[in-house]
Structure 1
Amino acid sequence: MGENANVTVTAETKTKTLLSLLTEPVEWLRMLSSQLNPTFVIGVFLIYGLGQGLSGSLFKVVADYYWKDVQKLQPSTVQLYVGVYFIPWVLKPLWGILTDTFPIRGYHRRPYFVISGVIGAVSAATVALTGNLAAAAALMCFLGVSASLAIADVTIDACIARNSIEVRELAPDLQSLCGFCSGTGALIGYLASGFFVHRLGPQESLGLLALCPTLTTVLGFVIYENRTSGSHIETKQAVLVSVGTTIRSMFKTIRYPQVWKPSLFMFLSLALNVTTHEGHFYWYTDSKAGPAFSQEFVGVIYAIGAVASLIGVLIYHKVLKDYAFRDLVFYAQLFYGISGVLDLIFILRWNLVIGIPDYIFVVIEESATRITGKIRWMPMMVLSTQLCPLGIEGTFFALLMCIDSTGALLSRWGGGLLLRLLHITRTDFTNLWLAVLIRDMLRFAILALVFLVPRTGQYEELLPSDTPENYPSYEVPEENLELVPISSKIEV
């Protein structure tokens, strides 16, 4: 009888544990929805999940095959082209100023959602439906897709920044929400990308990129926003004053050591982390020098990376969000550099010498890189939200993301230049190992810059206490998008 009772208790305990694991994400989302507005959570799912996650991952794989198989470009040229995609993200402060201070027919947010959706849908449809498109024209279409994602991203980022300031204890949770949404969307996108490339071809698959911009356009028509009132002259004068005040406030804030030091680290950590992705991609699919992975398996590799990114977000959310910024960034960067050594082992084919097949080793390599990369980046995103003063949080967060995007742009162009200098082509991968070695050495060199990151905890206020008093809080009706905390006592 006693043994049966113990077995029953054990079974009940396991059942409760399993149920708690299943219900914990639901309770977490319910908590966020109660502390913040549910519409905000839906907006994050749309922009980060479907936009940056699903569309971004599909765009990455399909565009690689498009440049390789349709346009037949060299990997160094493609690497430079990929850098051009980041130009709209570099211009995020411009999009932020436009949406903050230039209303269209009395609306600050709705028109820009619609504009970004139309640009993305038209660009994706053009490159998908137009045969024999010149490389320069295709690049402009891809630039339009990227601009669509960047403009839509600015609005939701502004809301994230404000919520992170007003409900400071939820700042890490908001970044976890963004990470889970983008990671889940990326997982689906990567799993589907190889299938669509194989079945439809790279050019036709690009038509799928019109899905998210279409939904963004719908969001622009249905999202709640009050229409501003006032004469045209009064509005124009207010716009000029607010733009000038915003620019002066941005320059004032960026001069604080608490702000420019971590901003400089984020820029350098991205710029020095030169990427050799296109060289890897061409080598992955080469039947002579490389492992000759199929289109479907390339998608699976990236999907595994998306799962690893989700694991990285989960590790950060459960274990690491209470650690100080500097300590966490140092060790994350260290392990990120170590994970890069696996790339070198794979390129040199030493994995075959020790008896590990290519398809197993690439899973290990991709997982290690994505987990450490995500853990490395999550605290920097939390830090970025904590650096934004109230009143200009949307535009200033866009400025910080502009700095990051400029670093990422230089990373890709630097990688493209490295591939060209080492004469890595569509068929010659002799010096690819050297490119990877140089990249890994730069990753370890970034450790010397960690002193720029503050030692403070992730819940502590970084800006001087008098900073918000110096900046205007734009009290205009259109900011009430139901994307700010319900419990907030600060009028927006």
Structure 2
Amino acid sequence: MEEKESYIRQSSLRSHSRLSFFTDGDPRWKHQLPANPGCLDYVLFPFRSFMAWLRLLADNYSPKFLVMLLLGEHLLKGFVGGGGGGGMLVSEKVMYRGRASLQTQQAYFSVTGLAWALKPLFSIITDGSAMFGYRRAPWIVITAALSTGAILMLLMLPLPPIALCIAFLIIKVNISCTDIILEGQWTEKLAAAPEYAPDLMSFVYMGMSLCSIFGVLVAGPGLDKFGENILWVCIPIPAMCALGALCGLTTEKRAEEPCGLQTECIYKYRHFFLCGVMAAVCVLGTAALNLLPVLGQELQFVLSMLLATLMCVSYMWLLPASIWKPCLYLFISNVLSLDYSSVTYSFYLDDAQGMQRQKCPDFCPHFQAWFFVTVIQIIDAGFALLGSWLFKRTMSGWTYRRVMGVSQVLVMVASASDAIQFSRVNKLLGIPDEVFLMGKSATISTCFMMNFMPMMILISQVCPEGVETLTFALMAGITNFGSAVSGLVSAHLMQYMGLENTDAMESWNFDNAWILALMGSFLPAISLCLLPFAIPDKRMTDPIRETAESEQTELLKGKAMDSA
């Protein structure tokens, strides 16, 4: 057995192929047709090639870990969470209807979205402490147990809106925590076998995308027929992830200290850990402020903005300039891209009880969930792939500054189509709502992915060696926090635009929704002024990690001198 494992490792190190189907490594890693193939050989060729690809991944990254990725990334994050914005949890968008105003709904959507901004906290906990000899697996089990309880509460108890928000927050915390843990694990594994990194990333994200599509295929018709009871389908998945972690599928090594803090690691990267703590305080504080009914809406908003400012200042003080500058740009850009999803769902989607037809019989499109959730999100996924291809085809040789500027303008122009449909101009032009929405979704998804790809490349490139996972979590955390703050700003604006639309109102008003959409489309133009300051003017193919690492060294020296 040891000889076989040694041969596999040596073969993988000798191979320099980026596509495993054509690798020169272990013959089991590729499938070839026999000398005289029959019809069955041709029919089974795709399946056998796929199995050979899985053997390559299993030999280099452990079959146990692949199963854990299937459970945690494909089923939990993909099917349940929709990759972070859909899947079965799209039911959250309709469960508040009739129980809270649109302003309150938007605030609660932002609070549950803060689970993704807590990634720095999860990274600190898992990297800086151990429990029963393991740093990561116990937290998958703990959050999975809490998530299962939250789903059961949603299904079995008549919860008020604030309790609904807390339950969905717990479910998303489970997904976010499991996601950052598995990201940390595969980062370590890719360092040991980097030549097959594209294969592993393809396995993760292709599987996640397919499961996300399957999730909306189930969620759309399920919401029409069963309402919120469709969430029963999600019950086994967190439990399966917990069972996988208990069975050792994360493949993590036992920590040297069975319990307690990993003090050496914390001290070595103390400014990154402190930044993560400050980020967690700001995120948790924002969540608490918007869940406490005792505070007035104006005071909640002001305090939330102060915490957002504190988070930005913490990044600027504690992190190297090559990291905090892009973080600041991504945060401001996301805040200015107003999130008004509560208005969107209330305007487009009718529920099983037909509440939209009662409150707004003539103005709204009255889409059913099978169309608005399933069909539209499948279009989003398909054209996101087109956006990825167009980015690679046309922009991969550009500088970060150029590609992020051009793609941001494309997103702004495409997003303005929301204002056209909210104002019903498309009806005046004779364009049916269904046709316009499909075209609008396809255009926005394509442009958004062209804007998203360079951001992810930049984040991965500036992470200093030795603290990649925490740095990635910090950058992703402030980006997601910006999206949540954007929702809070939108909720505040809804109050002044008459877009509250509660169940007690005889009719719903969307007269000013187009103004909110137009603001969300063109306010990000302000962030373009920061491009020369915040984004490096280097090609995406040029290395920039050395700059971040040298700045990290200087930062450590400076902090040491200050403490002396």
TM-score between the two structures when normalised by the length of structure 2: 0.71
* Structure 2 counterpart of 1:482: none
* Structure 1 counterpart of 2:367: 293
**In the alignment, structure 1 residue 450 sits paired with structure 2 residue 479:** no
Give the stretch that moved more between structures: 146-155 or 37-46. 37-46
Secondary structure class of the residue paired with 1:85: helix
Indicate if the aligned counterparts of 1:113 and 1:220 stay in contact, CA closer than 8 A.
yes
* Structure 1 counterpart of 2:129: 102
Indicate if the aligned counterparts of 2:272 and 2:470 stay in contact, CA closer than 8 A.
no
Please give the alpha-carbon distance, in whole angstroms, between the structure 1 residues aligned to 2:439 and 2:410: 14
Q: 1:178 to 1:331 in 2, by over 3 A?
A: farther
Please give the alpha-carbon distance, in whole angstroms, between the structure 2 residues aligned to 1:154 and 1:137: 26
Please give the alpha-carbon distance, in whole angstroms, between the structure 1 residues aligned to 2:51 and 2:398: 26
Task: For residue 247 of structure 1, report the CA deviation from its aligned partner.
Answer: 2.5
**In the alignment, structure 1 residue 256 sits paired with structure 2 residue 349:** no
* Structure 2 counterpart of 1:5: none
Matches within 5 A, 1:280-319: 280-285=344-349, 286=356, 287-299=361-373, 300-316=375-391
Matches within 5 A, 1:187-206: 187-202=213-228, 204-206=229-231
**In the alignment, structure 1 residue 53 sits paired with structure 2 residue 78:** yes
- Structure 1 unpaired stretches of 5+: 1-17, 472-492
* Structure 1 counterpart of 2:139: 112
* Amino acid corresponding to residue 437 of structure 1 in structure 2: L
> Which of 1 and 2 has higher RCO (CA within 8 Å, sep 6+)?
1
Indicate if the aligned counterparts of 1:304 and 1:367 stay in contact, CA closer than 8 A.
yes
Please give the alpha-carbon distance, in whole angstroms, between the structure 2 residues aligned to 1:87 and 1:338: 27
Q: Once the two structures are superposed, what CA deviation does each residue of 1:321-351 show, in whole Å capped at 9, x if it has no partner?
A: 4443222222211111111121111112222
Matches within 5 A, 1:273-352: 273-285=337-349, 286=356, 287-299=361-373, 300-316=375-391, 320-352=395-427
Indicate if the aligned counterparts of 1:113 and 1:217 stay in contact, CA closer than 8 A.
yes
Q: 1:343 to 1:410 in 2, by over 3 A?
A: same
Indicate if the aligned counterparts of 2:338 and 2:520 stay in contact, CA closer than 8 A.
yes
Q: Once the two structures are superposed, what CA deviation does each residue of 1:75-102 show, in whole Å capped at 9, x if it has no partner?
A: 1111000111123322222211111121
Give the stretch that moved more between structures: 383-392 or 140-149. 383-392
* Structure 1 counterpart of 2:467: 392
What RMSD over aligned residues (CA atoms) do the two structures have, in Å? 3.4
Q: Once the two structures are superposed, what CA deviation does each residue of 1:283-303 show, in whole Å capped at 9, x if it has no partner?
A: 113432211111222222223
Indicate if the aligned counterparts of 1:162 and 1:390 stay in contact, CA closer than 8 A.
no
Task: For residue 441 of structure 1, report the CA deviation from its aligned partner.
Answer: 1.5
Task: For residue 180 of structure 1, report the CA deviation from its aligned partner.
Answer: 3.4
Indicate if the aligned counterparts of 2:112 and 2:169 stay in contact, CA closer than 8 A.
yes
Matches within 5 A, 1:47-446: 47-56=72-81, 57-69=86-98, 72-130=99-157, 132-159=158-185, 161=187, 179-202=205-228, 204-222=229-247, 223=249, 224-229=251-256, 236=260, 239-249=262-272, 255-285=319-349, 286=356, 287-299=361-373, 300-316=375-391, 320-426=395-501, 427-446=508-527
Q: 1:241 to 1:226 in 2, by over 3 A?
A: closer
* Amino acid corresponding to residue 543 of structure 2 in structure 1: E
Q: 1:31 to 1:388 in 2, by over 3 A?
A: farther
* Structure 1 counterpart of 2:295: none
Q: Once the two structures are superposed, what CA deviation does each residue of 1:122-160 show, in whole Å capped at 9, x if it has no partner?
A: 111111122x22222222111110110111011122245
Percent identity, please.
23
Task: For residue 185 of structure 1, report the CA deviation from its aligned partner.
Answer: 2.5
Task: For residue 268 of structure 1, report the CA deviation from its aligned partner.
Answer: 1.3
Q: 1:413 to 1:304 in 2, by over 3 A?
A: same
Please give the alpha-carbon distance, in whole angstroms, between the structure 2 residues aligned to 1:316 and 1:179: 17
* Structure 1 counterpart of 2:284: none
Moved over 6 A (4+): 18-35, 163-176, 468-471
Task: For residue 434 of structure 1, report the CA deviation from its aligned partner.
Answer: 0.8
* Amino acid corresponding to residue 264 of structure 1 in structure 2: L
Match of 1:461 among 534, 543, 554: 543
Indicate if the aligned counterparts of 1:92 and 1:150 stay in contact, CA closer than 8 A.
yes
Indicate if the aligned counterparts of 2:339 and 2:490 stay in contact, CA closer than 8 A.
yes
Q: Once the two structures are superposed, what CA deviation does each residue of 1:36-67 show, in whole Å capped at 9, x if it has no partner?
A: 66666655544333233221223442111111
Indicate if the aligned counterparts of 2:100 and 2:161 stay in contact, CA closer than 8 A.
no
* Structure 2 counterpart of 1:11: none
Please give the alpha-carbon distance, in whole angstroms, between the structure 2 residues aligned to 1:382 and 1:376: 11
* Amino acid corresponding to residue 311 of structure 1 in structure 2: L
Q: 1:313 to 1:216 in 2, by over 3 A?
A: farther
Task: For residue 106 of structure 1, report the CA deviation from its aligned partner.
Answer: 0.5
Q: 1:449 to 1:27 in 2, by over 3 A?
A: farther
Secondary structure class of the residue paired with 2:543: coil
Task: For residue 439 of structure 1, report the CA deviation from its aligned partner.
Answer: 0.9
Indicate if the aligned counterparts of 1:179 and 1:310 stay in contact, CA closer than 8 A.
no
Task: For residue 304 of structure 1, report the CA deviation from its aligned partner.
Answer: 2.0
Secondary structure class of the residue paired with 1:291: coil
Please give the alpha-carbon distance, in whole angstroms, between the structure 2 residues aligned to 1:264 and 1:288: 43
Please give the alpha-carbon distance, in whole angstroms, between the structure 1 residues aligned to 2:481 and 2:254: 35
* Amino acid corresponding to residue 430 of structure 1 in structure 2: D
Q: 1:167 to 1:330 in 2, by over 3 A?
A: farther
Q: 1:414 to 1:200 in 2, by over 3 A?
A: same
- Structure 2 unpaired stretches of 5+: 1-42, 276-314, 350-355, 502-507, 554-564
